[in-house]
Copies of this chain bind each other. A is one copy, B any other.
Amino acid sequence: MSSATGLRPPAGERAALNSALQAPRIRIEQVAPSVDQGVLPAKGVVGQPVTVEADIFMDGYAPLAARLIWRGPGTLEEQSTPLQPLGNDRWRGAFVPHRSGRHRFNVEAWLDDAGAFRHVTHLPSDLIVDVERLAAGFTSAYELFPRSQSPHVGRHGTFDDVIARLPALRAMGFDALHLPPIHPIGWTNRRGRNGSPQCEPDDPGSPYAVGSAEGGHTALHPQLGDMASFHRLLSAAAEYGLELVLDLAMQCSRDHPWLTTHPEWFSWHDDGTIRSADDSVEFDFYAEQAQPGLWLALRDVVLYWIDAGVRAFRVAHPHTQPLPFWRWLIADVRSRHPDVLFVAHSFGRPALLYRLAKLGFSQSYTYFIWRNSKGELTDYFTELGLPPVRDFLRPLLFVNTPEVDPRFLQSSGRPGFLIRAALAATLSGLWGLYSGFELCESAALPGSEEYLNAEKYQLRQRDWQAPGNIIAEITQLNAIRRQNPALQSHRGLRFYEAFNEQVIWYGRFTPELDNFILVAVSLDPYRSQEATFEVPLWEFGLTDNGVFEVEELMRGIRFKWYGKLQHWRFVPSELPFAIFRVRPWQMPAP
């Protein structure tokens, strides 16, 4: 031994030893939020706390202390707050961002040795949170085809017709208005009703076949109106508290001016015909001749509409364009206009959906539309509600879309529409419907999930007072959302036990539990169901004999729940769900 202890290590090993001697003793691991090891930003919303957690530990049993350090966009000034230990080496703290833009944070830990700051350790690089305005996380969206808004059957609707619809939309409680593309529509290969390859002269064609001799992605369809009437719509919508969301369709009809002015942006066969099998053609993003012209031109389309006053865009099928394109475009636009929202209208596979959200899309369509059973809903929203997904993806729950007439609704009747509206309106801060849903429309092309006489290919005028509509219930759902912060985010969701496979039962809550909502939905549109369920008294530290003051918000009734097991009956012909606002009750002093 004595021969060894005095030895110095050979030069080759000294580096490894020195590096170990200088390595920090304190470990900071498993930090959340952290998206792709901090390479990509987590998402936040102005005014809502960003909660940070980390495993912090070192050898032995010495006392540690830790703090959270953060700074907002455009400043070098740091703020900090202590982290609190939760047990088992997990620590937690939070900060509230007060403006939109990129926030950075770090975690610092040190040996709390008689108050002296020693061995301070922090993360090797800051983690990032992109904070957006409130609407990014809390929106009730309504989608309509402007051309169908004419009150006169057969007349093409206009932007002014849409203006006339705004009071009704606002009365229902919506605050975002999604529009399909509003540009000139191509004639070549135009599709007729129900997507038929046979097109009649008065068929309007799909608005997704963007571009004609009258212009492309920056032009307006002449039958909708001119730029002045578009600006009237923008202003009127703003006055009613509705934000316009424009559709970005990254494709061209065969009559788009770009096919002539920029043939190098497309992929051509040797015989001079263009590669496509439909009423529109796709860009060749990676053609050498298309770089960087095409990418810049598409970015400039977005900037054009921003200049016109638009601040929110929905992208049709972004999973069919290169991922680096979206990462660059969103970053480029946000560097000029940090308040612009991007919505990913993608039903691609999970990995693509998640990647798009990570690259900066503010809101994401999800598979909610195809999740119907208690097991499916519980599994899917548990995945969406836990890290890491919770931190980079905000689920936008559309109950239907112009392209998807959900099978469940095709046979469920009015109770089915109430069920799906209640789920969408309470499972995320973001929900939406495509017009016709409130009238319980569900006629489909046989054996498919496509609407019969879909508006994508024809005008559709509707009777907004048709009997059996669920406008009153939707209005009430949106009012409840506005009054309860717990429903204004996808965060704060937990499923509880209801002893009936047809009844789903979950809680929605704010971080401080000062707003606590319990939702019970029967998933059975045909028969009445009853369920006994566990009231989560434990969330407030109450025993199984605790008491909740309860208000059922759809029916406006108040009562108390004594004890953990309670019971409810759901009647499809009346209302197949209930929304309870609860708070702990203590017997008043005598």
A residues adjacent to B (C-beta < 8 A): 1-2, 4-9, 13, 16-21, 23-25, 27, 29-30, 36-37, 55, 57-61, 88-89, 215-218, 261-262, 286, 291-293, 295-297, 300-301, 303-304, 319-325, 327-328, 331-332, 349-352, 355
Contact = CB atoms under 8 A, between A and B. Distances in A.
Contacts of A262: 5
A257 to B, nearest CB: 8
Given A5-B300, A59-B322, A89-B349, 19 more contacts: A1-B217, A2-B261, A7-B300, A8-B292, A13-B332, A17-B296, A20-B327, A21-B292, A23-B327, A25-B286, A25-B324, A29-B351, A30-B351, A37-B37, A57-B351, A57-B352, A58-B322, A60-B320, A88-B350
B332 A16 contact: yes
Given A1-B218, A21-B292, A351 B16 contact: no
Contacts of A57: 349, 351-352, 355
Given A321-B59, A324-B23, A1 B300 contact: yes
A375 to B, nearest CB: 15
A55 B354 CA distance: 12
Contact of A4 (B58, B286, B297): B297
B328 A20 contact: yes
24 contacts: A1-B297, A1-B300, A1-B304, A4-B300, A5-B293, A5-B296, A5-B297, A5-B300, A9-B292, A9-B296, A16-B331, A16-B332, A19-B328, A20-B324, A20-B325, A21-B291, A21-B324, A23-B323, A27-B323, A29-B36, A29-B351, A37-B37, A57-B355, A61-B320
Q: Which of A6, A18, A21, A55 has the most CB of B within 10 A?
A: A21
A184 to B, nearest CB: 13
A175 B332 CA distance: 64
Contacts of A296: 4-5, 7-9, 17
Contacts of A328: 16-17, 19-20
A240 to B, nearest CB: 30
B323 A59 contact: yes
Nearest to A20: B328
Contact of A89 (B215, B216, B351): B351
Contacts of A261: 2, 5
A210 B216 CA distance: 84
One complex includes copies of this chain to the number of 2
A217 B5 CA distance: 12
Contacts of A21: 291-292, 295, 324
Contacts of A324: 20-21, 23-25
A386 to B, nearest CB: 15
Contact of A292 (B17, B88, B301): B17
Q: Which of A295, A303, A324 has the most CB of B within 10 A?
A: A324
B322 A25 contact: yes
Nearest to A119: B286
A21 B25 CA distance: 42
B323 A58 contact: yes
A279 B529 CA distance: 69
Contacts of A320: 59-61
B295 A20 contact: yes
Given A300-B4, A322-B25, A324-B23, A17 B351 contact: no
Contacts of A297: 1, 4-5
B9 A352 contact: no
